[in-house]
C-alpha cells in the first residue's frame, strides 16, 4: 500500500478514535470584582507602600469546562501572588459547592504589580520565631491583609460556582499566535563575567541577554454559537497565555497590562467576553527593552502597548481558527518536596546585626533589605526546611496547561513546550501557591547572578528545583492522550474563475 495512503488512513483512525472518546463540549465563564480599597497596602516590592487611587478594576476570572465525564477549572486572580493556604481554602469551598475535584482546579495569580495585598507575610507566619524576627516580619515587612484575602477567596469561589452553574454547550477553538516585540529578558551577561538583572539602559557593561523570551500567545476560544458568519458577540470567553511580567503599573490600583489586553479583545470579539489570563514562564521576562536607545514607556502607555499587542495577536488567531463541539478533559497532579537553600550560620549572624540596626534602612537600604530577608529565611527554615511544590497538568482537548507555583525562568517553559507530546503546551506560573523565583541552574553558576538568585524568604529553593519541576510537568503531560487541533474548514472545490475578474486588459 502506498505510504501516503497508509499515513492518511492512520490519521483518520486516530481522529475517529478521538471523536468517539470525546464528549459534548460545555463551558461556563464568570468574573468577580476584587478591587482593593484606597489606602490599602500595595505589593510588588519589599518595602511598604499604600494605594492612593484606582485606575481600573482588579478581578477574579473563572472558566469551567465539562466533557460529560470530567470537569476542570481555570482561574486567574489579579494579584501579585496567591499563596498556598488560600489556594487550598478556595479549592475546598469550590469542591463543597460544586463537587469538582480539588486537583482539577488551577488557580493562578496574574502577578499584577499594581494589585491588592495578598502578599507577602501571612498572620502568624513568624509566631514561632524570636523577638527580632517578629519585629522584622510584622513591623518592617509587607504583610498580606487578612480581610482582603478572605474577600478574594469568597469572590473566587463565587465566580467558579457561577461559571459551573452556567455550563452550556459550546464550540471551541485552539491555536497560538506570536507577539515578540513587547517582552524582553531582563537579565544580561556583563563584561565582568556575571549576569545582572535590570542593569539599566546605556550600561556599557552589557554584552547580551542572559536568556530567551517566549513570544507565543496561547489561545483557547469558546463560542456559545457558531453561524456561517461567526458573530464576535457569540464569544463567551477565552483563555490567554503569555510570558511577561505585568510591571507596566498604570497610576493607581490596576490589573496592569491585563486590563488593556481585556479591552482589546472585548473591543473586537464582544464586550461581554470574559478573558482568563494565565501568565507563562516569565520569572526573567519583563516589558522593558533595556538595550533600546530610546526613552521607554511606563505606566498607562506601557500597559496599552503590551496589552494591546498581545490582545491583538490573540484576536488574530481567534478570527481564523477552526473549531469543534467535542471535548476531552483530563487532569493530573504531583507533589514534590524540594529543600530550601540554607544560609551559613556566619551569614545569619552577620545579617541579624545589620537588620537589627534600623539606621541601615536609610544608610544602605539594599544591604539592610537582603540582611532582613536572610534573617526571615533562617526562621522559615527552622520551621519548614522543605517546600511542598505542586505540579499540575490540565488537559483541554489538544492543549495542556503545565502549572508550577513559581516565577519560573523562561528557558524552563520552552523546555516543557519542546518535550510535551501535546500540539499546544502552555506553561502557567504562580499557580496553586508560590515558592518564589526558580532560576536556571546556569543562573546559579560562576557566570550567573541577579537578585532572583539571592537568598530571601521569598525565593530560596535549591538550584536544581527548576529542572525537577520541569521534568515533573513533562512526565504528567506524557501520561495524557492529546487530541488533534480542530482544522479550519476547507475551501470549496474550484469550479470556474470569477468572470468579472477573468478578463483581458482593455486599451481602447
Residue whose grid cell is 520552552:
414
User: Could you tell me the residue ranges of all domains in the chain?
Assistant: 23-342+385-478
**Lookup: cell for 84:** 498556598
Nearest Cα to Cα of residue 51 among 113, 122, 121 = 113
* β-pairing verdict for 26-33 and 59-66: antiparallel
| DSSP bridge pairs for 332 | 393
Q: What is the DSSP letter of 322?
A: -
What is the rounded CA–CA span in Å between residue 266 and residue 264?
Answer: 6
Please name the residue ranges forming H helices in 183-325: 257-269, 299-318
- pTM of the predicted model, to two decimals? 0.93
Rg (the chain; Cα; Å):
24
* Cα–chain center distance at 295: 28
φ, ψ at 434 (rounded to 5°): -155, 125
Best CA proximity match to 376, nearest among 149, 125, 144: 125
Three cell numbers at 314? 490573540
DSSP state of 454: S
Cβ atoms within 10 Å of 270's Cβ, excluding its own: 17
| Calpha distance 17→333 (Å, rounded) | 26
| pLDDT given for residue 119 in this prediction | 87
* Residues 443 and 311: beta-carbon distance below 8 Å: no
Per-residue HEC secondary structure of 112-163 comes to: CCCCECCCCECCCCCCCCCHHHHHHHHCCCCECCHHHHHHHHHHHHHHHHHH
Q: In the prediction, which pLDDT does 194 show?
A: 98
Helix (H) or strand (E) holding 332: strand 329-339
Contact indicator for 81, 118 with CB cutoff of 8 Å = yes
Q: What are phi and psi of 378, to 5 degrees?
A: -60, -40
Angle (CA) 90 92 97, round 5°: 95
* Tens digit of each residue's pLDDT, the chain (508 residues): 454 444 344 444 444 445 456 899 999 999 999 999 865 666 655 556 666 788 999 999 999 999 999 999 999 999 999 999 999 999 999 999 999 999 999 999 999 999 999 988 999 999 999 999 999 999 999 899 999 999 999 999 999 999 999 999 999 999 999 999 999 999 999 999 999 999 999 999 999 999 999 999 999 999 986 554 455 557 999 999 999 999 998 999 999 999 999 999 999 999 999 999 999 999 999 999 999 999 998 999 999 999 999 999 999 999 999 999 999 999 999 999 999 999 999 999 999 999 999 999 999 999 999 999 999 999 999 999 999 999 999 999 999 999 999 999 999 999 999 999 999 999 999 999 999 999 999 999 999 999 999 999 999 999 999 999 999 999 999 999 999 999 998 999 999 998 999 999 999 9
Angle at 451 between CA 198 and CA 139, to 5 degrees: 115
pLDDT of residue 228: 42
* Distances, alpha carbon 386 to alpha carbons 87, 142, 342, in Å: 19, 23, 11
How far from the centroid of its chain's Cα atoms is residue 129's Cα? 33
pLDDT at residue 216, rounded to an integer: 98
Q: What is the pLDDT of residue 22?
A: 81
d(CA 415, CA 53): 41
> In angstroms, rounded to a whole number, what is the distance separating the alpha carbons of residues 166 and 461?
41
Give the whole-angstrom CA distance, residue 290 versus residue 450: 15
- Asked if residues 409 and 284 have their Cβ atoms less than 8 Å apart, the reply is yes
Whole-angstrom Cα distance, residue 300 to residue 296? 12
Amino acid at each position: 500500500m502506498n505510504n501516503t495512503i497508509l499515513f492518511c488512513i492512520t490519521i483518520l483512525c486516530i481522529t475517529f478514535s478521538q471523536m468517539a472518546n470525546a464528549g459534548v463540549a460545555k463551558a461556563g465563564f464568570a468574573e468577580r470584582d476584587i478591587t482593593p480599597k484606597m489606602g490599602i497596602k500595595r505589593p510588588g516590592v519589599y518595602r511598604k507602600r499604600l494605594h492612593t487611587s484606582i485606575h481600573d478594576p482588579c478581578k477574579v476570572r473563572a472558566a469551567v469546562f465539562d466533557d460529560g465525564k470530567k470537569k476542570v477549572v481555570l482561574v486567574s486572580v489579579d494579584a501579585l501572588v496567591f499563596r498556598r493556604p488560600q489556594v487550598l481554602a478556595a479549592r475546598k469551598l469550590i469542591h463543597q459547592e460544586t463537587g469538582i475535584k480539588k486537583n482539577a482546579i488551577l488557580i493562578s495569580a496574574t502577578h499584577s504589580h499594581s494589585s491588592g495585598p495578598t502578599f507577602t507575610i501571612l498572620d502568624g507566619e513568624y509566631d514561632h520565631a524570636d523577638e527580632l524576627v517578629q519585629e522584622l516580619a510584622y513591623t518592617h515587612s509587607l504583610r498580606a491583609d487578612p480581610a482582603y484575602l478572605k474577600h478574594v477567596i469568597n469572590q473566587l469561589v463565587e465566580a467558579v460556582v457561577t461559571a459551573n452553574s452556567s455550563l452550556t454547550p459550546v464550540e471551541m477553538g485552539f491555536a497560538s499566535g506570536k507577539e515578540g516585540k513587547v517582552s524582553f529578558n531582563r537579565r544580561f551577561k556583563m563584561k565582568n563575567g556575571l549576569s545582572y538583572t535590570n542593569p539599566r539602559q546605556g550600561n556599557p557593561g552589557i554584552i547580551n541577554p542572559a536568556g530567551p523570551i517566549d513570544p507565543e500567545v496561547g489561545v483557547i476560544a469558546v463560542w456559545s454559537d457558531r453561524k456561517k458568519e461567526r458573530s464576535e458577540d457569540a464569544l463567551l470567553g477565552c483563555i490567554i497565555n503569555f510570558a511577561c511580567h505585568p510591571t507596566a503599573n498604570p497610576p493607581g490600583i490596576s490589573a496592569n497590562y491585563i486590563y488593556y489586553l481585556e479591552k482589546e479583545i472585548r473591543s473586537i470579539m464582544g464586550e461581554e467576553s470574559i478573558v482568563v489570563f494565565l501568565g507563562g514562564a516569565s520569572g526573567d521576562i519583563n516589558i522593558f527593552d533595556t538595550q533600546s536607545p530610546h526613552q521607554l514607556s511606563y505606566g498607562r502607555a506601557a500597559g496599552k502597548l503590551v496589552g494591546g499587542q498581545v490582545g491583538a495577536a490573540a484576536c488574530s488567531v481567534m478570527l481564523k481558527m477552526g473549531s469543534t463541539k467535542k471535548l476531552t478533559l483530563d487532569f493530573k497532579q504531583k507533589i514534590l518536596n524540594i529543600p530550601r537553600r540554607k544560609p551559613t550560620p556566619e551569614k545569619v549572624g552577620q545579617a541579624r546585626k545589620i537588620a537589627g540596626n534600623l539606621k541601615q534602612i536609610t544608610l544602605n537600604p539594599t544591604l539592610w533589605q537582603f540582611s532582613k530577608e536572610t534573617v526571615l529565611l533562617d526562621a522559615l527554615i527552622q520551621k519548614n526546611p522543605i517546600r511542598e511544590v505542586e505540579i499540575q497538568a490540565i488537559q483541554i482537548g489538544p492543549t495542556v496547561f503545565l502549572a508550577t507555583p513559581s516565577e519560573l525562568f523562561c528557558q524552563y517553559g520552552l523546555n516543557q513546550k519542546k518535550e510535551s507530546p501535546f500540539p499546544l503546551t502552555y506553561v502557567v506560573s504562580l499557580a496553586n501557591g508560590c515558592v518564589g523565583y526558580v532560576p536556571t541552574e546556569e543562573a546559579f553558576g560562576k557566570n550567573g547572578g541577579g537578585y532572583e538568585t539571592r537568598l530571601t524568604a521569598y525565593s530560596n529553593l535549591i538550584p536544581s528545583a527548576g529542572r525537577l519541576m520541569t521534568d515533573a510537568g513533562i512526565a504528567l503531560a506524557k501520561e495524557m492522550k492529546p487530541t488533534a487541533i480542530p482544522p479550519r474548514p476547507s475551501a470549496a472545490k474550484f469550479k470556474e474563475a470569477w468572470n468579472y475578474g477573468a478578463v483581458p486588459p482593455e486599451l481602447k
